[in-house]
Structure 1
Amino acid sequence: MLIYGLFLLLYNTVTEIPFQDASMDIWDAKYRLKTKDGIALDGSIDETYQRVAKALSEVEKDKNKQEQYYKEFLWALRQGVIPAGRIISNAGALEHKPATSTINCTVSGTIVDSMDDILGKVHEAGLTLKAGCGIGYEFSTLRPKDAYVSGAGAYTSGPLSFMDIYDKMCFTVSSAGGRRGAQMATFDVGHPDVVEFIRAKRENGRLRQFNLSLLITTEFMNAVKNDQPWPLSFPVTEKEVKLDKLDLSDSNLIIWRELPCKDGYVVNNDGLVACKISKTIPARRLWDIIMSSTYDYAEPGFILIDKVNEMNNNWFCEKIRATNPCVTADTWVQTEQGPRQVSAILGQQINVLVDGQLHQSGIDGFFKTATKDVVKLKTKEGFNLRLTDDHQVRKITHLDRYNLETEWCAAGQLNEGDQVLLNNHRQHAHWNGKYSENQGYLIGLLVGDGTLKEDKAVLSVWKSAQVMNSDINSLNAGVEAIMDKVMTATAEFNTRSDFKGWSEIAGRNEYRLSFAGLKTLAEELGMTPGNKCISAQIETASSEFYRGFLQGFFDADGSVQGSQTKGVSVRLAQSDLPRLEAVQRMLLRLGINSTVYRNRRPTGITKLPDGKGGVADYKIAPQHELVISGDNLAVYQELINFTDSNKAAQLEFALKNYLRSLNRERFVATIESIKPDGCEDVFDIQVPGINTFDANGLHAHNCGEQPLPPYGSCLL
């Protein structure tokens, strides 16, 4: 009665929260039931809830229970309960999507060592992947390479050859929704073919549809610790014992092991399986092979299978043998809602953006994994990322004019000169968020050529002095275009009645503009007097704000340089390196790659305009420069460009008169260094299927997912 009373209390007190536009877009694109022609069958989100609740309640045979659970499921959904993605998408949709599943991911049943079962499980897996599920398998139940098969009168090709079949099947079958399938293969550390499994992905193109993981036992870890030999063995049948006259009491020939598959094998009274030792290897030698492969090729993974089963709440009724397929808190992640730092989205299910495509994370979003030592990965182009040295990023293995091939590599195993893959978001360079393009333009000018004081924010522009017989009007046209745009932008603010716009500063060829609204906006965006930083608030703003901000900044401090022979570029010089690195991240999110050249000009004394019509000596800090080139210039012109009509005309002329095609951007960066960078909390995320996310622009791998028993399903 108490629980029912609490239920009624919640029912009557939960406040309804309206859906955001992004929520409606995701629902329509991913979960709304539609016909094959795209006609919506769910008229509203509530109709989706009703469809799901009805389908779930119809599991009950009794009509009264169906009605009861329909109401309770519908209430829960309306109060914010979110089932697994496949449930929302496919429950109650059988008439329109009969081949789909309500299960996100699953683990295959144990693959028995027979041709019938091997091919039967391929058939099951193909249908599972076609229905939209990821799937995991254990392949160490198959006899090792060159073992004799009496029924066929031949020697087997081993489990790796059968994995190749599963790999090709997965590559061929398209999952529901158009995604490629996701597979995980596990393998026992005591199997005779374990070394071949560890080294499988060293072959170019092999098993690329799999994530690989070793099942590491406590017994093996103890053997490594004590520097003992490690036996590699496989179960024997009664027939093999008789034919080969095996002595089951000979500990040099037979060991007894706990294995998931016992049928057909010799089993003792304790339920242990007799396994024939085919060879031994020093445990530490095998450990070194595992570690070197993990560091060099980022495969295989490492599953402490005894610990997994020990900590499994269902230990009494299931054995886990497979799984279905860390960065710091300040890492920037590109999401459907725009850029977010990990610290701001902990525990939230999100849609991450990878190469311009959206992928849904696990329901827990980012979660803390540990407190660990971290390294700082720096590229020669200016990108950087702080992460643990075992966290994998996508390394370029081959790059030519037509092809680009990659593999996962632990950060700690990258070397200077290695190339890594950046994200290309040109297909998704728009996201909603706070602040407008005009607000962005004013803040960009303020960062570039403005002053933030205790009492006001001031924008400044300079016109050229009048010179006899010069076409000074054309020189000033660009400045006047900026001044006009600023006046248009200020219309979004509630300016005072005495606001007069630009004011000329006598004897300096300078014009200034200030108003309280700009100072308020700057402070809201994290700026303070003397600190015009590109803050987290600026980086999380809308894409429209981005375009305005970058245009304003480049109008103030940018330039168009180069020639047809040396190449054309758009450049931005600053003494503040973090500011340029932030601009680089912002550009990349719009699909514009760039390079930051550190210390392009050293500290020194140089002559600069003194604001009085002359020049004077000024001490300058080291200057760094951001450079945009290649086909990034065309994207820059389309999305950002200049309000300064002179600079805009320069860029237009340069691109129109280019004698050859612009160099195609490959979105690749080159490692400059990997150095220790302290110890702190680190975090990870699960992104089923694609298993990666955008971390400061780089492709970063996500973690493994939940361990499951045979035919267990993931409901994340």
Structure 2
Amino acid sequence: MTATNPCVVDSTWVLTGDGARRVKDLVGIPFTAVLDGKPYGTLSNGFVRTGTEDVVKLRTSEGHEVRLTAGHKVLTYIPKTSRYAKDAREEWVAAGDLGPGTLVRLSDNLGASWAGRGTEGQGYVLGNLVGDGTFHTYGGYGAVAFWDTDPGFESVRDYLYEQVVKLGARSDFKGWHRVSQSDQYRLKTTGIRDLAATFGIAQGRKTVTPEVERASSGFYRGFLRGLFDADGHIEGASTAGGVSIRLTSIDLPALQAVQRMLARLGVRSAIRNLKDEQVHDWGERGGEYLSQRSYRLIIAGANASRHMQVVGFLNSAKTRKWEALTSHMRRGFYKKPYTASVECVEPDGREDVYDVTVADVHAFDGNGIVLHTC
């Protein structure tokens, strides 16, 4: 390995006392770094450009990614070899020296909170919009939705109505209306559209945007709750493989953003490939069609319990299912180290890179992974 200055690219997300910010937003600006939920000041004047370097992409089996120079040190976790061995330990290793299967430490931010744009209620409205809602070209409306065939929908319906009315409604606002020949009901207003626009969400861009990632921790909780109420579900049993909370999507970047948002609230998750892109036969109708690749975000074990504590469901049926599956567990969930497993480290171009000096810990949360600083 040829070592270079320990630096990251400017698109890297860093958790600060003001919430999530990209390195490009912190160049020349002092900030408070948050690592393992604790605040640390910067000794340097924010991030500093250190040059143009070859970079590598570190990718974990759980879906975490970060782009950095090969010489940048990453905190690794070395477990005990047996029950009789000495305690597990942590060790700094250059990214270029990480091999498949190496465990890297993730920042455990349980309990972290920060101020910023957006309320919890606004977050819930936009989480539902991204999950189940839509935009109406005619009239310029944004619409949130629920299905009356989904058990537990009543609390979702009532909360959405309450929050949408707070956004402002015209005198002819008629509330919920049923979609023709469907079990779906929608609530449409220009207020939803305008709120979405302030967070970069619009027709053709109904996804988890950088503006959403920069929002307050209260907005995070609402947004994630709205998204999981719309598209999330609970699987498993405490006696066979464990209970997990899952979210499925064809939008991998959106799932990766959700994974980063969850991690900033102290909830670890993994992203798995669910279904590859496939060509299907229409049968008697003739011709073929292509189904897109899909992915699943999985929150399991103690992290699923954390999710219920800090995010949870508003949908009462999903909450009852969780309680039914876990209420008889006497010892709770087995706690695992807050780590991810390296899948690969591979060359990924050449670009401007940046570094920072953080007081005391000399490390920061980079896309959820614990990275060393200058």
Question: Where does residue 16 of structure 2 map in the other structure?
Answer: 335
Superposed displacement of residue 403, structure 1: 3.7
**2: CA distance between counterparts of 1:383 and 1:511?**
36
Q: Distance in 2 between the 1:447 and 1:399 partners?
A: 43
Q: What's the secondary structure of 1:327's corresponding residue?
A: coil
Shift of 1:511: 0.7
Q: TM-score, normalised by structure 2?
A: 0.91
Paired position in structure 1 for 2:120: 437
- Mapped to 1, the partners of 2:161 and 2:359 lie a distance apart of 49
Bigger proportion of residues as strand? 2
Q: What is the distance in 1 between the residues matched to 2:80 and 2:32?
A: 30
Question: Counterparts of 2:109 and 2:188 in 1: how far apart (Å)?
Answer: 36
Alignment partner, residue 486 of structure 1: 160
Residues 1:525 and 2:178 are matched in the alignment: no
> SS in structure 2 opposite 1:653?
helix
**Residue 285 of structure 2 corresponds to which residue in structure 1?**
none
Paired with 1:508 and 1:604, the residues of 2 have a C-alpha distance of 28
Structure 1 residue 663, shift from structure 2 partner: 1.8
Checking the alignment, whether the CA contact within 8 Å between 2:44 and 2:356 is kept in structure 1 is no
- Aligned identity (percent) is 37
CA gap of 1:682–1:444, structure 2 versus 1, over 3 A, is: same
Q: Distance in 1 between matches of 2:124 and 2:141?
A: 18
Q: CA deviation at 1:373?
A: 1.1
**1:637: how far off?**
1.0
Q: Give the counterpart letter for 1:636 in structure 2.
A: H
Cα distance, 1:488–1:450 mapped onto 2, change above 3 Å: same
The change in CA–CA distance for 1:652 and 1:685 in structure 2 (over 3 A counts) is same
Note if contact 2:57-2:346 (Cα within 8 Å) is conserved in structure 1: yes
1:462 CA drift (Å): 1.7
Secondary structure (helix, strand or coil) at the match of 1:328 reads coil
The answer as to 2:329 corresponding to 1:658 is yes
Q: CA deviation at 1:531?
A: 1.8
How far apart, CA to CA, are the structure 2 residues paired with 1:514 and 1:399? 56
Q: 1:541 aligns with which of 212, 215, 238?
A: 215
Tell me what 1:569 maps to. Answer: 244
Post-superposition CA distance 1:408-436 (Å, at most 9, x none): 111111111111100001142x1111100
Superposition deviation, residue 566 in structure 1: 2.1
The answer for the alignment partner of 2:363 in structure 1 is 692
Q: Secondary structure at the match of 2:143?
A: strand
Alignment-derived partner of residue 185 in structure 2: 511
Aligned to 1:362: 43
Mapped partners of 2:237, 2:119: distance in 1: 35
Distance in 1, Cα, partners of 2:100 & 2:44: 37
2:144 is the counterpart of 1:459: yes
Relative contact order: is structure 1 or structure 2 higher (C-alpha 8 Å, sep ≥ 6)? 2
**Paired residue for 2:313?**
642
Q: Which runs of 5+ in 1 are unaligned?
A: 1-290, 303-325, 465-474, 607-616, 704-716
Supply the distance in 2 between the matched residues of 1:618 and 1:661 (Cα, whole angstroms): 46
Looking at structure 1, the residues matched to 159 and 300 of structure 2 have their Cα atoms a distance apart, in angstroms, of: 27
Q: Which amino acid aligns with 2:23?
A: V
> What amino acid does structure 2 have at the position aligned with 1:377?
L
Could you state the TM-score of these two structures normalised by the residue count of structure 1? 0.49
- Between the aligned partners of 2:111 and 2:120, the Cα distance in structure 1 is 20
Question: 369, 373, 376: which one pairs with 2:57?
Answer: 376
Per the alignment, residue 243 of structure 1 pairs with: none
CA gap 1:399/1:332 in 2 versus in 1, 3 angstroms: farther
Counterparts in 2 of 1:403 and 1:432: CA distance versus 1, 3 Å: farther
Corresponding letter in the other structure for 1:447: V
Aligned residue in 2 for 1:586 = 261
Out of 27, 31, 46, the position equivalent to 1:350 is 31
Q: Which residue of 1 aligns with 2:98?
A: 414
Larger Rg: 1
CA contact (8 A) 2:246 2:298 kept: yes
How far residue 640 of structure 1 moved from its aligned partner, in angstroms, is 0.9
Give 5+ residue unaligned stretches, structure 2.
281-287
> How large is the RMSD of aligned CA atoms in angstroms?
2.2
Which consecutive aligned stretches of 4+ in structure 1 deviate over 4 angstroms post-superposition? 399-402
